[in-house]
Amino acid sequence: MGLARRLLRGTALTTLAYVVQLSMLSLGSIVLARLLGPSSFGTYSLLLFAIGILTVVGNLGLPTTMQKYVSEFVGSNRKETIPLLLGFALRARALLTPCVIGILVGLAAWYITVGQPLIATYLLIVSVASTLDGFASIWAATITGFQRFDVSSKITLLVSPTAFVVTLASLLFGAGILGVFLVGIAISGINLVLLAGAARKILASNRLSATMRGKSEKAWLHFSLSILAIGLVDTIVWQRSEILFLRFFWTPIEVAQYSVAYGLSSRLLAVLPAGFFAVLFPLMSELYGSREITKIANLYVQTTRLLAMLVIPVCVLGIVLADPLIELL
């Protein structure tokens, strides 16, 4: 299959999955804001921000490392190294898990001392979901590293609507924020099982199995740490850090209003770039592994042209949907 066809097919699959996933998240935000009420939803948004930072730290850049090197090893015909990389990533995430949980437990203890035991309970529950999501992201990166976007997209298309429906049901039965977080644990568990099972099948089809030790762990760790630094800056500076400062000066109601509006607009803008990047990164890594540098340059040019062509319809769609969305909110 040619590069252009692989790019288009992969982008179509991932973009479809992203559209469904982001649509469910956006609808979920609106439903949560309506059913929880502005104050509770503001508290929920603040918790998600804090958890997002801890998730980035806990992941240590491992999913990106997996995706890059799996694709690179495929391109350089060194697939036998992939199980070593997977073992390193799983072991590193397991070692980091107690640290992340410890931070969340410490935050929970502090909230208890200031008279907010409910938030402490939420943090303890979310620590479980965060751990499951961390391991799931490693298995997901293994799948996309092999460029099996058909597999990852199918799982996303299954899990995202399920999460929305179950969350909605829990809210309609009056479960509140606690119910939402408990549902999150269940969904995270299902997602982990599906991704791990799919990744193991892909490894088995290539006659590979997980191995826990490797000789290149230092290089993998250095790359992971660089991704961690970038991820922290992106999360703290660009990914809604203003929510933290809003909390100091405004009430949870204002935080909730900002969160819904920002979430809808940012998710729409992220669909195309996210879809392309999800395909480009492993594809370029594979080409780098096979030392086909000229093809990387050609792929970059083709992608830039295609993205420029698709931006206009997205902008028009945003203009058309702006007024109905404002009325809906």
Q: Give yes or no for a contact between 250 and 235, defined as CB atoms under 8 angstroms apart.
A: no
Least confident of 10-24, 61-75, 194-208: 10-24
Q: Taking residues 267-286, report their average pLDDT.
A: 72
Q: Nearest-CA neighbor of 267 among 7, 27, 13?
A: 27
Q: How many domains does the chain have?
A: 1
pTM: 0.76
Task: Name, in order, each residue with C-beta under 8 angstroms of 205's C-beta and a sequence gap of 6 or more.
Answer: none
Q: Is the pLDDT of residue 102 over 60?
A: yes
- What is the per-residue burial (b if ≥16 Cβ within 10 Å, else e) of 150-181? ebbbebbbebbebbbebbbebbeeebbbebbb
**Which segment of 190-194, 206-210, 226-230, 253-257 scores lowest on mean pLDDT?**
253-257
> In which domain, by residue range, is 210 found?
3-328
